[in-house]
Chain A
Amino acid sequence: MNPDDLLAKVKYKPDNVSHLIPNEDICKNCKNRVCEYICPAKVYEWDKEKEKLQVIFENCLECGACRISCPYKAINWSYPKATKGITFKNS
């Protein structure tokens, strides 16, 4: 299942730089890639060709689950800058 329909209902003001920065070397050797399925916004996807973790940070719901779940603490995680990111209206 793809959460795109859900994400379309969220108001975002994306920054032009990512607030989520995984460590490429660690990710390359990661076995379970828990970030790929734990994320409620499907932000992470392993790109087999480029051998790189794709980060669609624009969709991030700012929950913090990836930060805590990554077994190698490989994500340099911060909140988006003030005025950027999600704005909930009905939650």
Chain B
Amino acid sequence: MKVLPVKNLKTTDADIIIVGGGPAGLAAAITAAKGGAQTVLLERGDFCGSKNMFGGAIYTIPTLEVYPDFLKEAPLERGISRHTYSLLGENDGTIISYEKKPKNEFFNAYSVLRPKWDRWCAQKAEEAGAYIVPQILVEDLIKEEGKFCGIKTANEEFRGKIIILADGVNSLIAKKRGLRKEIKPKDVALSVKQTLSLSKEKIEDRFNLDENNGAVHTIVGGPMLGITGLGFIYTNKESISIGLGISLQDLNLQKTPPYEFLEKLKNHSIIKPLLKDTEIKEYSAHLIPEGGYKKIPKLYYDGLMIAGDAAMLVNNIHWEGTNLAMISGKYAALTALEAINQNDFSANSLELYNKMLEGSFILKDLHSYRNVIETIENNSETFLGYYPQKINEFMETFTETDNIPKREKYREFISKTIKERGFVQFASDGLKIAKLAGDAIL
């Protein structure tokens, strides 16, 4: 059994105990340690990142707030210079790309591999003075006189003034303590991913990238036509990450295992050439919170705050999670430092954390997008089935040359489309989209 590093601490209690060494917990740890608090972070994996997977890319601006040196030191894969959106039909697709070479010295986002990235973040937190202790599974919290004041492992207890719960989407601890409602299948997506090895030269040739530049593909349709799911491809230095996430509710109805969806995506006529000659390096699975604003639980209690995925802070539409995790972790730590300063660890005092979240992009963005996933999920056949197919059908009409006059082809396309769907349905689809746009802007 591993003994917690209490002996190294000046007193037997820590100021701040953090459960979970992902982006949220590690950002909290480095912030707290830099602020002078005795900080202990407990992680169940062999090292921070060893249980974690994501798409994925981290975002430069929020990351700089927590790790000012990361551009020079961190194990980054590629700077993202291109975003591609693919609307796949059964065997065709419409693709648009946005490309931007950075004006200044850094890119807006970088692809990373979590076992390497999280581990580097842990090292930085340690350098700042935090105790990062892997191979510890936290099993419960200690609560005395209504206040949270420590954690329990299988055979030890450990006390602290404030607990920051950053144990990820499953948050068994929040569940055990009734701090969060039971997660329903429609509140999460299940994601599977394969990391495929491919040489640096081939990646840059095939994806048409400058040296060390990277691409992100977001994929709608294909094997997921009509169901709430999104596919992704990220280029790394010498590998490609390909995966997809499907709403657990929809997946439960499909009776097709998630790896079969991924296999179909890999074999789609548009995707397959990108993956030629690759070999599977690793396979992984993870849940993604999908409930959005409406599913965020209360985030502060006497002696405890919840950050990151455990708090359901994810913006799915943009693949944003690590940024919300890092900034929420940082705010939780700043609040804890202030509470220690005031010697007041009550919920009243920790409410500052919620105020900081409300004042930031985190709760503002999640509020703007509060109805998006629900609307898509309730109308997945329309928005992720019918329209993507319709766009591909139009592109087929537009690009195909035969002996029929173009006019006739367009008229035929329009009258067929109206017949299929009817004006009322179009108006209702339009209204739904207008409402979501209104939520985002107003």
Contacts and interface: CB of A to CB of B under 8 A. Distances in A.
Contact of A37 (B44, B255, B263): B255
Interface in B216-274: 239, 241, 248, 251-252, 255-260, 263
A82 interface: yes
B188 A68 contact: yes
Given A41-B285, A61-B284, A69 B137 contact: no
Contacts of A67: 170
A1 B262 CA distance: 11
Contacts of A90: 113, 115, 195, 239, 281-282
A63 B255 contact: no
A5 interface: yes
B53 interface: yes
A10 interface: yes
Contact of B44 (A38, A61, A63, A79): A79
Given A6-B280, A88-B53, A82 B114 contact: no
B49 interface: yes
A51 to B, nearest CB: 21
A34 interface: yes
Given A64-B287, A79-B172, A37 B256 contact: yes
B185 interface: yes
A69 B186 CA distance: 10
Given A68-B188, A79-B44, A88 B285 contact: no
A79 B153 CA distance: 12
Contacts of B49: 88
A74 interface: no
B135 interface: yes
A70 B190 CA distance: 14
A54 B247 CA distance: 26
B193 interface: yes
B214 to A, nearest CB: 16
Contact of B285 (A40, A68, A85, A87): A40
A31 interface: no
A23 interface: no
Contacts of B280: 5-6, 9
Contacts of B252: 34, 38, 69
Interface in B369-399: none
Interface string B135-172: 11100000000000000011000000000000001101
A83 B282 contact: no
B344 to A, nearest CB: 33
Contacts of B62: none
Nearest to A67: B170
A69 B185 contact: yes
A6 B44 CA distance: 24
B184 interface: yes
A2 to B, nearest CB: 9
B432 interface: no
Contacts of B184: 68
6 contacts: A3-B259, A37-B256, A79-B172, A83-B46, A87-B51, A91-B193
Given A41-B285, A73-B182, A85-B51, 14 more contacts: A9-B283, A34-B252, A40-B190, A64-B169, A65-B248, A69-B251, A81-B137, A82-B136, A86-B50, A87-B50, A87-B115, A88-B282, A90-B281, A91-B282
